[in-house]
Chain A
Amino acid sequence: MPGNVMNIASSNIVWIVAFFVMGVVIFQAIMFMNIAKKAAPDAGLTPTEVSRAIRTGFISSLGPSFGIAIVIVSLIALLGPPITMMRIGIIGSAATETAAAHIGAKAFGVELGGAGFTEKAFATVVWTMCLGGMGWLLVTFLFTKSLGKAEKAIRRKNPKAVASISLAAMLGAFGYLASEQMLKGLGFFFAGIASLGIMIICMSIAEKKNISWLREWSLGISMVCGMIAGTMVIALT
């Protein structure tokens, strides 16, 4: 990125907007934690279970979050620190944002970070990423209420249907995501299989011996084992 463009990309106002966005995301998470805690007793969660759910969320998020952190390092050079923070902090993955940045640069008629990547080209990139990412926000903003109403209508008619629909959606999505990843290569295959197997082992031990900490750690443990298995398979072949 040319120096004058980098100056704009890391100017104070850009930092302020980026921190504002991150602040909103943090505020939202804390707010939802509070209102969920208030609804917890009537939903059948004891105070112990509330802290267990919170602890599990925290433990389980560490692995995936570091996975995300490793990928964004390359984006920082491409977009500058504050824009990277703002774009990755809200909806839009590193892959999506990288593609969007290339699309934006192309729309201006230059290569990303190449010759002729002026302030205006940079502005086109930011416009593209911000407006493109807004699609999900707008749909969520406008239609989550209707989706909630639809769910309520189904629940009124047939309460059991809601449970089987959400189970089916979960299985459908992750059946596909896991298959797609595991078909990518030998390492990926064994990473997925190992993780799946360790999860089953963790859960059956936790169930039999009633070990609650194992339930909290099972996602983290399975993930790490899967990653080790994949790496070992690659090293051995």
Chain B
Amino acid sequence: MSMSQEVVRTASKAKPEPVSSSMTRFHEQSHFWGRLTILLVMIASVGLPMYLSFVLGAHPGWGAIFAGLLGYAAFIGVLWIVEPVTYFPILGIGGTYIAFLSGNIANLCVPCSSAAQKAVGAELGTQKAEIAGVLGIALASLTNTIIIILTVLGGTFIVNLIPASIQQSFVFVLPAIFGAVLGQFAFSKPKYGVMAVLIGIGVFFSPIPSLIKIASCVAISIAVIYNVEKAKDKKANG
């Protein structure tokens, strides 16, 4: 008994985290429910305009629809692929399904995921962080959806719960969210935090097309941090 425990312990030291069967099950369930819910919303997304076109007889013609889609694709279509790939390392499997269904990835889902991870003291990249992050994002999606429903049904009622003077300060909601998230990492990894801001400012002023600026920062940061960590490991081991 104690022997086998010892074996498990050394094994888990060599390989920090063997993927447990319940984690594998979590991933399988994530794919199943994630895809099913996204499929349902895709059906509704085609169903609604179909209804307007062919039941109510407001069909504008495929030419106009195609022109609209083409305009949209030219405007922002690159992000269809770039965003899911860019945010996947942060969100993981479950987080990706929730965040890309409910939207507001950078301004809501990731900050809530990260806050939940910090609240339980989980290091990014661990299974603990993955599960805590999913719980944070699920709650974010739930709260946001309910507030949207109430806002649409109640009209200005919900928004007026917030005094007008405070409403104005919501202009600064984005820098406040992003600053706070950066602060979480500046606290635990100050050097990397400074580096991230320098990369961010560099890319901001660079001629990189604006739609792929975030992805570029992510790619550069991965390249730098991966190599720094590798060098650190070498030093520690050799």
Contacts and interface: CB of A to CB of B under 8 A. Distances in A.
A108 to B, nearest CB: 5
Nearest to A40: B131
B67 to A, nearest CB: 4
20 contacts: A35-B26, A43-B131, A45-B128, A53-B131, A57-B115, A57-B136, A73-B151, A90-B41, A91-B100, A104-B71, A123-B58, A123-B60, A136-B79, A136-B84, A161-B226, A167-B192, A171-B221, A175-B221, A183-B204, A222-B183
Interface string A185-204: 00111011111111110011
Contacts, number: 609
A78 interface: no
B42 A138 contact: yes
A1 interface: no
A165 interface: yes
B218 A140 contact: no
Contacts of B72: 100, 103-104, 128, 131-132
Contact of B148 (A33, A69, A125, A143): A69
A24 B127 CA distance: 27
Interface in B138-174: 138-149, 151-153, 155-156, 158-159, 162, 167-174
Nearest to A181: B175
Contacts of A229: 172
B73 to A, nearest CB: 7
**Main SS class of interface, A:** helix
Interface string A65-107: 1111110110010000110111011111100100110011011
B195 to A, nearest CB: 7
Interface residues of B, number: 167
Interface string B102-130: 11101110111111111110111111101
Contact of A172 (B15, B176, B181, B219): B219
A39 B116 CA distance: 16
Contacts of A134: 42, 45-46
Contact of B221 (A21, A39, A172): A172
Interface residues of A, number: 160
A176 B214 contact: yes
B6 interface: no
B178 to A, nearest CB: 4
Given A38-B22, A67-B107, A131-B72, A138 B144 contact: no
Residue with the greatest number of chain B CB neighbours at <10 A, chosen from A35, A41, A148, A174: A174
A142 to B, nearest CB: 9
Given A54-B135, A57-B140, A35 B30 contact: yes
A191 B148 contact: no
Contacts of A136: 79-80, 83-84, 100
B127 to A, nearest CB: 4
